[in-house]
Structure 1
Amino acid sequence: MKSSWVVVAVAGLLSLAACERRDAATPTSTPEPTFQHRLSGDISGDYRPTGEGAIQAVASLFIGQDGAFTAWEAGSQASPPVILSLTEPQGEARVLPDAYVVTDDRMQMRGSAPGMGPVELSARIDQGALATARRNLGDQTPVVTGTVSVNGRRTPFTLSWWGGD
């Protein structure tokens, strides 16, 4: 009799522990957006697809200067420090950041645009290629490579620093 009571008690504790683990895994609220940059150099500029006639999902990526990031993170919503333009059948769609983490050599961004689902960008920034492109006033050197995901569909892209016309 005593052993069956112990079995029931142990089963009850295991059941309670399973419920606590399930509750801990279930988010209670949506996390706040993260806007964070850690830059030691200047990666600002307009980045466009590499090569002649390059057809990609990404039409351009604008990265602002350090001051634009600082202002955005302080609450100014005047001018986003990152703007992603995607190619769509109807033209281009501008994706503004809902969250980002930007460093000298990496960029993660989550954003949205009217009529689109969630957009996520993950990219690597090649500092050596950026320096070369700036010295050559915007050649076709690949500087930013990564993937963009729209509604869960991932597409690779390669961008060069654009020096203007």
Structure 2
Amino acid sequence: MRITTLAAVFAVLGAAACDRPAQPADAPADAPAAPAASAFSYASTVDLSGFYMPTSRVRAGKWDLDHVFVGQAAEFQAWTGVETETTFAPVMIEFSDPASPMAETELGETRSVKARVLPTRYAVSDDRIEFEGTSPETGLVRFDGRIDQGALASSRRNLGDEGVVVTGTLTAGGQTVNDVKLRWWMGD
């Protein structure tokens, strides 16, 4: 009986070893992981939707951080993370090129050259926004921010104000910026 049990255990272990995904040996250490369903996590019990905009200029490489967008719960539920050829995700980061000319948009005057970064990974909860993505313009982008729920609730009651609701670290354009302070704006 013991020999049969040991044979069964070794057979299972052998089969499991065959199913192990290949790990590329030459992948750079800072390369983002390939998107997978488990790379996207949304576990917020409060409405975090809106635009999180810097309270002062945040420069990373040649880019200025324009905003971090967080969608509504329904957008997180509808988005599977495997869409291709899309320009929208429930969490996105947008940068502007401060050297580009100004342009008039529905949101007012803004820089004409922008770079929108879609996620390859995110984790959003009541107290945190974690994001990782890439774009041809910015390369690898990472953001890890802590949400101050009291400040966010106050800002939402006042339909946006200048108070800091998220503090975090941003990496983009090969540069890391600590102590990034963002305010909340509901958008149009």
**Shift of residue 28 of structure 1?**
3.4
Question: After alignment, is 126-135 or 154-163 more displaced?
Answer: 154-163
Which residue number in structure 1 is paired with residue 57 of structure 2?
A: 55
Which residue number in structure 2 is paired with residue 147 of structure 1?
A: 169
Q: Verify: 1:103 aligned to 2:104, yes or no.
A: no
Given that 1:36 and 1:73 are in contact with CA atoms closer than 8 Å, whether structure 2 keeps it comes out as no
Which residue number in structure 1 is paired with residue 44 of structure 2?
A: 39
TM-score, reference length from structure 1: 0.72
**Greater share of helix residues, 1 or 2?**
1
Given that 2:42 and 2:124 are in contact with CA atoms closer than 8 Å, whether structure 1 keeps it comes out as yes
Structure 1: which 5+ runs fail to align? 1-26
Amino acid at match of 1:159: L
CA RMSD across the alignment: 2.2
Q: CA separation in 1, counterparts of 2:186 and 2:137?
A: 31
Which residue number in structure 1 is paired with residue 114 of structure 2?
A: 92
Q: Secondary structure at the match of 2:58?
A: coil
Paired positions, count: 136
Given that 1:138 and 1:164 are in contact with CA atoms closer than 8 Å, whether structure 2 keeps it comes out as no
Q: CA separation in 2, counterparts of 1:87 and 1:146?
A: 19
- Residue 64 (structure 1) aligned to one of 44, 68, 71: 71
Q: Verify: 1:115 aligned to 2:137, yes or no.
A: yes
Given that 1:104 and 1:127 are in contact with CA atoms closer than 8 Å, whether structure 2 keeps it comes out as yes
Larger Rg: 1
Q: CA separation in 2, counterparts of 1:36 and 1:111?
A: 14
Amino acid at match of 2:154: T
- 1:71–1:39 CA distance, 2 compared to 1 (3 A): same
Q: Secondary structure at the match of 1:142?
A: coil
Runs of 4+ in 1 over 4 A off after TM superposition: 74-78
Q: Secondary structure at the match of 1:147?
A: strand
- Residue 22 (structure 2) aligned to one of 28, 33, 36: 28
Q: CA separation in 1, counterparts of 2:94 and 2:162?
A: 19
Q: CA separation in 2, counterparts of 1:159 and 1:39?
A: 19
- 1:135–1:45 CA distance, 2 compared to 1 (3 A): same
- 1:46–1:109 CA distance, 2 compared to 1 (3 A): same
Question: After alignment, is 114-123 or 151-160 more displaced?
Answer: 151-160
